[in-house]
């Protein structure tokens, strides 16, 4: 039996929330102030009909909206949508008792994402399709257009479907093509290929290589192991040109990366030595090296090798010292960080409790925290504040357009 529901707010995962006598009901693709009619099962609304629409509701731009699970907030006007992301950061900080200036959310343009993860499946009719998962489902939605992705990636979808066909050899394989647009064209790393039966056969590897050549890929790799490389894929970090390792981490949107690095550089102006922790291949390292010498550390040996390879491509930089080191198991101590009066850290979603504890014990005057998870950032920020730092400002960054995901840059000073 359907129910009328009043949407009071949008929750942290992007669903509207209606308060009912039986508890909260999560209503996908709805907005605050809307009235909807829906079937309710286990606290979730299904078969949702908008009865009274919010004035903030706009027409989605994607033909796959509502089925594709990638853009859960495409129906929300830009202003309130960006303010909601800012509010998610405020709530996360508030749960740790932290108050600070939170700047307006930095928006990114449409058609700006340089990397996407495309799932591949074979239909019962034998056709290979690429796409994204449906909402709350394992079902694959075939995607022919994507308003958030770089148009050069979208244009390659038909050719990538031919590449994907080679990786569907085993019935248990569920390939995902991690496609990245680089200075040298398209770089594709494939994961999700069944290995217990012996992995991809030699015949299928050759089929994949032929398809990669026909598609003009710069490189094709399987779970980080190169199958063919016509051109070394490279990216720009500041003034440096850095080789991208197969399957290596890279910020999804160049404009978001620039928003992060420019704020980090501005915060450390005047520093004599800077530490860049969880540095990856040097997205922050090279811009920071325009200010002062940089000590860079990351667990990825391949990432550190790529960073070192990029050092010789740029002029006018201060000295860069790079070390491959697992900062979760062996965080840099105050002794290791001696002389660093500025520290930048950009950990994975889990945050960096142990490394943050070591940062708290240094004599650094400024610390810049970059995060893709406001909750773990707030936890780590609490540690720095308790050690005598003040969280001066936080900037939310909307790297993943129309999703519930929010990233941020926070600046701490003693």
Q: What is the dihedral sign for C-alpha 197, 203, 208, 209?
A: positive
Active site residue 305: no
Q: What is the dihedral sign for C-alpha 395, 271, 244, 371?
A: negative
CB 167 within 8 A of CB 193: yes
Strands 185-191 and 219-222: parallel
- CA atoms of 131 and 68, how far apart (whole Å): 8
Q: Which residue has the tokens 């999560």?
A: 26
Distances, alpha carbon 305 to alpha carbons 128, 253, 300, in Å? 36, 23, 9
Q: Phi first, then psi: what are they for 170, rounded to 5°? A: -100, 140
| E strand or H helix at 189 | strand 185-191
Options 68, 279, 340, 372, the catalytic residue: 372
Distances, alpha carbon 339 to alpha carbons 236, 289, 377, 388, in Å? 29, 15, 25, 18
CB 396 within 8 A of CB 103: yes
Distances, alpha carbon 122 to alpha carbons 156, 157, 160, 161, 276, in Å? 18, 15, 13, 10, 44
- CA atoms of 45 and 346, how far apart (whole Å): 37
Name the region of 398 (left: φ>0; alpha: ψ -120 to 50; beta: rest): beta
Residues designated catalytic? 372
């Amino acid at each position: 039996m359907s129910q009328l529901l009043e949407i009071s707010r949008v929750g942290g995962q992007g669903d509207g929330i209606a308060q009912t006598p039986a508890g909260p009901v999560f209503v996908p693709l709805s907005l605050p102030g809307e009235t909807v009619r829906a079937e309710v099962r286990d606290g979730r609304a299904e078969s949702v009909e908008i009865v009274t629409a919010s004035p903030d509701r706009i027409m989605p731009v994607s033909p796959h909206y509502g089925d594709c699970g990638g853009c859960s907030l495409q129906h929300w006007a830009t202003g309130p949508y960006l303010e909601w992301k800012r509010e998610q950061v405020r709530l996360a900080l508030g749960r740790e008792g932290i108050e600070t200036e939170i700047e307006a959310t930095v928006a990114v343009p449409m058609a700006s994402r340089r990397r996407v993860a495309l799932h591949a499946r074979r239909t019962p009719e034998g056709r290979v399709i690429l796409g994204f998962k449906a909402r709350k489902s394992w079902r694959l939605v075939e995607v022919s257009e994507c308003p958030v992705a770089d148009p050069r990636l979208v244009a390659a979808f038909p050719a990538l479907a031919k590449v994907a066909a080679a990786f569907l050899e085993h019935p248990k394989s569920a390939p995902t093509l991690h496609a990245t647009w680089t200075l040298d064209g398209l770089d594709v790393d494939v994961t999700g290929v069944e290995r217990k039966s012996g992995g991809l056969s030699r015949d299928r590897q050759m089929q994949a290589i032929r398809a990669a050549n026909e598609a003009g890929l710069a490189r094709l790799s399987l779970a980080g192991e190169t199958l063919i490389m016509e051109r070394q894929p490279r990216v720009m970090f500041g003034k440096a040109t850095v080789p991208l390792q197969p399957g290596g981490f890279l910020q999804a949107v160049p404009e978001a990366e620039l928003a992060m690095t420019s704020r980090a550089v501005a915060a450390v102006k005047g520093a004599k030595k800077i530490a860049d922790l969880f540095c990856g291949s040097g997205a922050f390292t090279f811009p920071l090296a325009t200010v002062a010498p940089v000590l860079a550390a990351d667990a990825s040996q391949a990432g550190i090798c790529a960073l070192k390879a990029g050092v010789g491509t740029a002029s006018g930089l201060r000295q860069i010292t790079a070390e491959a080191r697992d900062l979760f198991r062996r965080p840099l101590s105050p002794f290791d960080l001696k002389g660093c009066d500025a520290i930048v850290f950009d950990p994975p979603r889990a945050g960096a409790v142990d490394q943050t504890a070591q940062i708290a014990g240094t004599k650094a005057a400024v610390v810049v925290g970059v995060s893709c998870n406001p909750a773990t950032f707030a936890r780590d920020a609490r540690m720095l504040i308790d050690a005598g730092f003040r969280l001066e400002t936080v900037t939310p960054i909307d790297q993943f357009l129309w999703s519930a995901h929010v990233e941020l840059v926070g600046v701490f000073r003693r």
